[in-house]
Structure 1
Amino acid sequence: MITSPANQHVKRIRSLASDRHERRRERMLVLEGVRLVADALESGATLTLTLYAPDQLQLTPAGAALLQKLRYLPASYEATPQVVAAASDTVHPQGVVALASWPHVAPGKPGLLLVIDAVQDPGNLGTLLRSAEAVGVAQVLCSVGTVDLYAPKVVRSAMGAHFRLAMEQDLSWDAIGERLASVDHVYAADPEARMPYYAADWRQPSALLVGNEAHGLSDAARRLATKQIAIPMRGGTESLNVAVAASVILFEALRQRTLGRS
């Protein structure tokens, strides 16, 4: 059992959690918490390093079930709760932290794309990925300037979407434009637009563009849009959080694609 917070495995996990360049160089992401690690295993991910506290995991049924799997994995080490906490990024660790290689998920059938323009908040990006996976988005494309897809807070917020959703980051607008060339409709979410989001025809190959929290869509993103859409609101709020707004629109797209436009 690992008992020292100065252990080399703890240092490696902490380094990858804090250093974007190192995550990119090694193409690794940090997984933390019972649900996220269990979800990764169920999705077929290979954990390259795992630290877990048996006594802590045994406190919940989900933790106990995960413990039975972790005992037989390679590069999986028992550790004290203090050691796992030292390797963790959260305030209240759940007794397990792991490393996994970046998943490679092939894009789905052409249908619906989500393009993210310089979203900065990790929680917002994670929620966007989670909603995109839930509605069956074929691929998520992130422009240069978007927060790191594999940052620990993004991974936690996405709740396993990384292992089931095709995604790319740091794309130039020229590259994004090439990806959208075969898309029938490119809708840009803009609170000032007159067209309501439910009037859009999401049944055809489509893309949704969402912009930065403070500045909205960039000029480069607007040039790629064929139409601009908004969410009508009756209250005094001027606009919704980008993750909330995109989720509302994406689920309307799913409704139309499932039930038809009405």
Structure 2
Amino acid sequence: MRPVSLGFVAGIFTAAVVAIGFLQLPQHGASNASSSSASSSLSSLSSSSVARPSIVTSIKHPLFRRLRSIQTGVGKAQEGAFLIEGETQILAALDAGYPLAEIWMAADAVSSRIASKLGSSQNGSTVATIMLTQGLMKKLFPSGKCPDAVGVATTPILSLESVGLGNSKSLILEDIQDPGNLGTMLRCAEAFGVTHVLCVMTNHTQRLFSRVVIRASMGAIFRLKLSVTGTAKTAVSYCRRNGIRLVASTPHTNRTLSDCVPGSQCAYAIAVGNEARGLSETMLEGANETFCISMRGDVESLNVAVACGIMLYQATLGDVL
């Protein structure tokens, strides 16, 4: 009897994954109440109205053209979706129950871990698996390392009024510009017990769900309760109306975090500002307390992500607020 080749086995496995993906079309627009209204355009091309080939081989295929468009800021906004790159981040999103619509994998590099997770995950039945050639995957990422898989996630509703802030310790990030800093701060927030993060920023669809932010957050972006508002005034007003003490970081004070009413049991939010300008006057004037990080030597400032980590760690130690 002639032995079965590994290539033949891999081919059977790939075909099985493709079949699973094609039979289980995404229903994210109807089943996930937190998805944005813009996801209707994503659903139209993810539905059975577009013929799904056994493998996408052409850059002109409508599914692939849409996938490429989501890499751009305009495409993200129009489709109500963003991309998750690589097996590690896709698995983190699946574990968190994040609303994924599709997972794209190169036909010659199928992820057994993703396939296994789809089979066991409660949300796996709503995620379509689509195969494409390795050449097309490289077209998506012409520079740098090509990921082993790409997920398409529905952009959730991030309204402050809908998501809110937590009943204990929350974090407010105002106009953080560097995506690496932003992702690291989200990671620090989760590490030190924060569940709710409010981002004060404009154009959040492009900025918050960029590839760098997602990678730097190491999955925290999928697990945190995120909200967005465009102005500091809205953030301050929300805190006042909901009895949340606003504690603002600034170098222009001698008070430290431990000076801000130790032992208080009320809800509070730590506000951290822009890398160059810090917090806005609106945020500082609306704060109940201001504090700084005590430093030694001739160092004038710290990287904002490092500073944020120190603040959250100090807040965690002994529950100083």
TM-score of the alignment, normalized to the shorter chain, above 0.5: yes
Q: For the pair shown, which has the larger CA radius of gyration, 1 or 2?
A: 2
- In structure 1, distance between residues paired with 2:168 and 2:63: 42
- Who is 2:229 aligned against? 170
Tell me whether 83-92 or 128-137 shows the greater mean CA deviation. 83-92
- In structure 1, distance between residues paired with 2:296 and 2:105: 49
- Who is 2:149 aligned against? 96
Q: Say yes or no: does 1:110 pair with 2:157.
A: no
- In structure 2, distance between residues paired with 1:229 and 1:89: 46
Paired residues of 2:232 and 2:280 also in contact (CA < 8 A): no
Query: CA separation of 1:103/1:15 partners in 2, compared to 1, >3 Å: closer, same or farther?
Result: same
- In structure 2, distance between residues paired with 1:177 and 1:192: 20
- Percent identity for Structure 1 against Structure 2: 30
Task: Give the structure-1-normalised TM-score.
Answer: 0.83
CA RMSD of aligned residues (A): 2.8
- In structure 2, distance between residues paired with 1:31 and 1:89: 17
Alignment of 1:217-232 (within 5 A): 217-232=279-294
Q: Say yes or no: does 1:240 pair with 2:302.
A: yes
- In structure 1, distance between residues paired with 2:231 and 2:218: 27
Paired residues of 1:141 and 1:171 also in contact (CA < 8 A): no
The Cα shift of 1:184 comes to: 5.1
Figure out how many residues of one structure are paired with residues of the other and give that number. 253
- In structure 1, distance between residues paired with 2:174 and 2:232: 9
Secondary structure of the equivalent of 1:128?
helix
The residue identity in structure 2 corresponding to 1:213 is: E
Query: CA separation of 1:210/1:224 partners in 2, compared to 1, >3 Å: closer, same or farther?
Result: same
- Who is 2:316 aligned against? 254
The Cα shift of 1:146 comes to: 7.3
- In structure 1, distance between residues paired with 2:257 and 2:203: 24
Equivalent of 1:66, from 114, 118, 130? 114
Deviations 1:157-180 (A, max 9, x none): 222223221222233233212221
Deviations 1:54-97 (A, max 9, x none): 5445xxxxx43224446886431122333223224872123101
Q: Say yes or no: does 1:34 pair with 2:34.
A: no
The residue identity in structure 1 corresponding to 2:252 is: E
- Who is 1:60 aligned against? none
The Cα shift of 1:145 comes to: 4.0
Alignment of 1:1-262 (within 5 A): 1-19=55-73, 21-56=74-109, 63-69=111-117, 74-88=127-141, 91-103=144-156, 106-107=163-164, 109-145=166-202, 148-181=207-240, 182-183=242-243, 185-200=245-260, 201=262, 203-257=265-319, 261=320
Tell me whether 111-120 or 165-174 shows the greater mean CA deviation. 165-174
Paired residues of 2:165 and 2:197 also in contact (CA < 8 A): no
The residue identity in structure 1 corresponding to 2:65 is: K
Task: Give the structure-2-normalised TM-score.
Answer: 0.69
Secondary structure of the equivalent of 2:71?
helix
Query: CA separation of 1:191/1:228 partners in 2, compared to 1, >3 Å: closer, same or farther?
Result: same
Unaligned 5+ runs, structure 2: 1-54
- In structure 2, distance between residues paired with 1:89 and 1:27: 24
Unaligned 5+ runs, structure 1: 58-62
Greater relative contact order (Cα < 8 A, sep 6+): 1
